[in-house]
Amino acid sequence: MSDERLPVRRTLKLFIGGAFPRSESGRSYPIVGADGAALGQAARASRKDARDAVRAARAAQHGWAAATPYLRGQILYRVAELMEGRREQFAAELAEAGAADAGAEVSAAVDRWVWYAGWADKVAQVAGGTNPVAGPYFNFTVPEPTGVVAVVAPAAPALLGLVDRLAPALVSGNAVVALASEPAPAPSISLAEVLATSDVPAGVVNLLTGSPAELVPWLAGHMDVNAIDLTGCPPELAGEAERAAAENVKRVHRARAADPTSPAAQHLSEITALVEFKTVWHPIGA
């Protein structure tokens, strides 16, 4: 009898409403490493799965937005702490997918969470303000979250590209439905496992794996999605997604820096792109 042991290959599931369900369609697709080796299977999300994810995000968004900015920052910092503790796993998954410098990508992803977490209780002071008006009134501009944001993460870098899109959307109180890298989904689902244990409320982040051609147009046209980040959208789908988004005047955003490793990628404008600025009038002395 041979003592050789076969490793347990992962079957990556979706992350919806704080749980890890299989696709309702029962479909999956093979994950292949950069060397052509079979690494496992990933769920191929259907439109029904995407609809479930949007519903979970909508249910969770109000509570996340109502949390104090300080608390949101602490929770996002906790995500960075847990990722730091799983560096080796993330680096191994990125290396298998062909990342040029897996360790550097993990470090950049952790640092990205820390940077945006620090903005959580500062956005209102920096981006909002008190406005001078010609009358006996106080006039305040206050940033508020847009609501449910759909995110299309780039195919590569698989981990940093996703974190770069998730973090600025979450800081202000949005809930997110994200479509992870199709060729390298393992780091994204490992990130979902971190989110599930880091005090991020269930449903605030929902991660789908599968085909952009199948899911992007549907997310862009969904009437309960308030904004969509098309940074990682394949060019051949962008026009169709923008037309679908126009049906409910959905906000469409793309990162100011296409390369998430660029110093220009971290910027306050990535947060404010996914908030609404509300103006409040109040009589002086009332």
Residue segments in the chain with a per-residue pLDDT below the cut of 70: 1-2, 286
Q: Is 18 exposed, middle or buried (0-12, 13-18, 19+ CB in 10 A)?
A: middle
CATH class of the domain comprising 11-283: alpha beta
Q: 43: helix, coil or strand?
A: strand
Counting Cα atoms < 13 Å in the Cβ hemisphere of 197 gives 11
Query: Which residues, including other chains, have CB under 8 Å from residue 56's CB and lie 6 or more apart?
Result: 16, 17, 18, 202, 203, 206
Q: Give the pLDDT score at 1.
A: 56
DSSP states along 185-203: -HHHHHHHHHHHTTTPPTT
pLDDT digits (tens, 9 = 90+) for 4-30: 887 778 899 999 999 999 999 999 999
Q: Give the pLDDT score at 6.
A: 79
Q: Determine the Cα–Cα distance for residues 119 and 171; give it in Å rounded to an integer.
A: 7
**What is the number of H-type helices and E-type strands within the chain?**
10, 11
DSSP conformation class of 265: G
Q: Give the pLDDT score at 130.
A: 86
Query: Which residues, including other chains, have CB under 8 Å from residue 130's CB and lie 6 or more apart?
Result: 138, 139, 140, 141
Quote the pTM value.
Answer: 0.94
Q: Give the pLDDT score at 175.
A: 98
How many CB atoms sit inside 10 A of residue 212's CB? 20
Identify the CA nearest to 64 among candidates 173, 191, 152, 183.
173
Contact assessment for residue 82 and residue 198, using Cβ atoms and an 8 Å cutoff: yes
